[in-house]
Structure 1
Amino acid sequence: MPRDETASALRAAQRSPAFAEDYPMTTRPCASSSVPSPNTDRPDDPPIEADFWRIVQMALGVDSDRARVREWYRTENIRELDGKTAQELVQMGEADRVIGFLRSIRRGYRD
């Protein structure tokens, strides 16, 4: 199909109701990046956010209750990690220590 016919066919398909149902992300406007996310669980800093989600995913392997995991992340002082919370360690750039701690729990080295 020549390029003009292909473009014309795509425009026609995008106007059809079936297309909107099959491919909703391609026909609706994207949210503005300046609109704050309603999710308050995610820190704003991208590297910290990535570490946060890595740790939460590992912690969910230990305890499947999301609310308890979030609470643990923010408030539980971890004796083996100098009495700091996972959140404090992530903010200090020491997410790998928290990951190692969670791995030791998952391997059965600690309760």
Structure 2
Amino acid sequence: MLLNARHRFRNAALPTLNRYCPDDRVDAAVAIFKAAVRIEPRLSDIVAWYRDTPIRELDSRTAEALVNAGRTIEVLAFLREIEDERRD
């Protein structure tokens, strides 16, 4: 399932993602889904991950909870970190 492996989260990635972080929660969720689909192609797995899977590196909160808390940039940075590691 999406994002089960341990990944190191780098705060250094945050400034480069500011332009990708919309204020609106729906737009934020769409941005996260677009980033996640580059890692996991199955939409059903992305939805399950977004709603139900705690992200240990981000206070063990789900992506949905993080978006609701205004922490979209951190979720996008987390996904970018995973995507970068997959390419190496």
Equivalent position amino acid for 1:48 in 2? R
Q: Confirm whether residue 63 of structure 1 aligns to residue 40 of structure 2.
A: yes
TM-score of the superposed pair, with normalisation by structure 1: 0.56
Runs of 5+ in structure 2 lacking a partner?
1-22
Q: Confirm whether residue 97 of structure 1 aligns to residue 74 of structure 2.
A: yes
Identity of aligned residues (%): 31
Counterpart of 2:31 in structure 1 is 54
TM-score of the superposed pair, with normalisation by structure 2: 0.70
Q: Moved runs in structure 1, 4+ residues, more than 3 A?
A: none
C-alpha distance in 1 between matches for 2:65 and 2:56: 13
Instruction: Please state how far the C-alpha of 1:107 moved relative to its aligned partner.
Output: 0.3
Runs of 5+ in structure 1 lacking a partner?
1-45
Counterpart of 1:76 in structure 2 is 53
C-alpha distance in 1 between matches for 2:41 and 2:61: 22
Count of residues in correspondence between the two structures: 64
**Secondary structure at 1:64 match in 2:** coil
C-alpha distance in 2 between matches for 1:96 and 1:75: 19
**Secondary structure at 1:62 match in 2:** coil
C-alpha distance in 1 between matches for 2:46 and 2:27: 16
Q: Once the two structures are superposed, what CA deviation does each residue of 1:36-70 show, in whole Å capped at 9, x if it has no partner?
A: xxxxxxxxxx8000000000010000000000001
C-alpha distance in 2 between matches for 1:73 and 1:61: 14
Equivalent position amino acid for 2:83 in 1? R
Instruction: Please state how far the C-alpha of 1:72 moved relative to its aligned partner.
Output: 0.2
C-alpha distance in 1 between matches for 2:70 and 2:54: 17
More RCO (CA 8 Å, sep 6+): 2
